[in-house]
Chain A
Amino acid sequence: MDAIKASTRRFLGGFFRQADLADDTDMFASGFVNSLFAMQLILFVEAEFAIQVEDTDLELDNFRSLDAIARFVTAKRAAADACDAEGQPDAADRTTVS
């Protein structure tokens, strides 16, 4: 969880001043967040942690804070591991266009 938070914090450093971003800071309450930030955050989470954000994952509570993102990524990885153990594909094949 700490490693997830650390790399996410580095990514968010381009958008938020580090001192303003505690693990439980609600980014959506800051008023800064817009759709372009949200899109980049989703792309970052997918690329950095090798997971696929699905339509069913679209919940503010999954991305609200560093703590929330770390919990979400950890849960997705656990689900992917379970799929791998059962020999099931864990994500649809997709073109690479974001």
Chain B
Amino acid sequence: MRLTEQQCRDRAAFRSFVAKEITPHADQWDEIQELPPALVAGLAAQGYLGALVPTRYGGTGMDAVTFGLLNEAIGYGCSSTRSLLTVHAMVTHAIARWGNEAQREALLPGLATGDLVGAFALTEPGAGSDAGAVLTNADLVPGGYRLTGTKRWITYGQRADLFVVFARCAGGLTAFVLDRDSDGLDIQPITGMLGTRASMLAELRLRDCTVPGGRLLGRVGFGLAAVAASALDVGRYSVAWGCVGLLAACLDVSLRHADERVQFGRAVREHQLVQRMLANMATSLEAARLLCHHAGCLKDLGDPTTVTATWTAKYFASCAAFRSAADTVQILGATGCGAGHPAQRLLRDAKIMEIIEGSTQLQQTYLAQAAYQAYRL
């Protein structure tokens, strides 16, 4: 993987920040199911929350590869923190890409500094992989739109200041930017999830919730085809790189333990069946990283094939991360199963990666279609 000198410097800075501010605390955050406000402030101070905000709105304006490296670094330390970065980046991207100038000027500076944190509200009790099944409704009323419906499993919904919400309007899916303090919006925390337990999920209950007309994002009926599709591409890309970080964490934990643990009179690393797991893990890490880098390079070129490349990267990286996390627990045995040990957190978090931003099965369906398209059959 070839990086520019600047990208190498940025990667070193990301890893240094994560080693100091994130990794040592990840197990505690997982246990209390919460990310501290100071962490969000720290991410903002580093410019990470403004990663995809153009510089003229106060953001960092990262290229795609650098943004990927940031996600890998944070994914190494804590997938819950990476989830926060993911949804915030999806919101900032949606507004930067499809907002009008007034929306960009009003919202992007705050999103870049962390004064505003965004969350992405598409999923509903009956609409997950099938995003077109959204039932939340938006009616045109004087001065704006009135939203009614329920959004569920909204990452960082417990704390986010604004939400990009999708609702059916005049028959078509449409995106809106909704403030947390909007009348008619009730936010209920969701706890006890299997993995990424500190990502502070919430259910949003919208009952005659009014959003001003100026908060319509894009055009009526283009919520899915334009706003959601491109934001989910950002999310998928972010998660894919996050899986690379998770994989790297698995390999680190496994290598150290296999080196230190002695069984049958020799280090576990010397047992061939353990070597098989370590070899698969190391190979998967390199392959996943290369697929993610390829998708990022295509994004930086504006090449439309980045869409399929991103699906490929996310599919491979998330499956490999789960396999590797399961092998990590296997190598560590009872130690890895223990409360508060990173290995069990990595396994629980890795399972979530196979579900979010396109389930493994949805990716398989899409990638099979894409293969036919590539071969023009």
Which of chain A's residues have a CB closer than 8 A to the CB of B93? 95, 97
| A residues with CB within 8 A of B | 11, 13-15, 35-36, 38-44, 46-47, 55-56, 58-59, 92-98
Which of chain B's residues have a CB closer than 8 A to the CB of A43? 302-304, 306-307
Of all chain B residues, which has the CB nearest A41?
Answer: B304
Of all chain B residues, which has the CB nearest A11?
Answer: B304
Which of chain A's residues have a CB closer than 8 A to the CB of B217? 55
Of all chain B residues, which has the CB nearest A93?
Answer: B54
**Residue B225 is within 8 A (CB to CB) of chain A in the complex:** yes
- CA of A43 to CA of B299, assembled, Å: 10
Of all chain A residues, which has the CB nearest B303?
Answer: A47
Q: Of the candidates B56, B226, B234, B366, which one forms a contact with A97 in the assembled complex, judged by CB atoms under 8 Å apart? A: B234
Which of chain A's residues have a CB closer than 8 A to the CB of B305? 40
Interface residues on B, range: 35 or more
Of all chain B residues, which has the CB nearest A57?
Answer: B219
- CA of A38 to CA of B53, assembled, Å: 23
Q: Are B376 and A95 in contact (CB under 8 A)?
A: no
Which of chain B's residues have a CB closer than 8 A to the CB of A93? 54-56, 61
Of all chain B residues, which has the CB nearest A35?
Answer: B229
Seed contacts A43-B306, A95-B96; 4 additional CB < 8 Å A-B pairs = A55-B226, A95-B62, A97-B52, A97-B89
Q: Of the candidates B62, B101, B301, which one forms a contact with A47 in the assembled complex, judged by CB atoms under 8 Å apart? A: B301
**Residue B348 is within 8 A (CB to CB) of chain A in the complex:** no
**Residue B315 is within 8 A (CB to CB) of chain A in the complex:** no
Which of chain B's residues have a CB closer than 8 A to the CB of A58? 98, 218-219, 222, 226
Which of chain B's residues have a CB closer than 8 A to the CB of A35? 131, 224-225, 228-229
Q: Of the candidates A36, A47, A55, A59, which one forms a contact with B229 in the assembled complex, judged by CB atoms under 8 Å apart? A: A36
**Residue B63 is within 8 A (CB to CB) of chain A in the complex:** yes
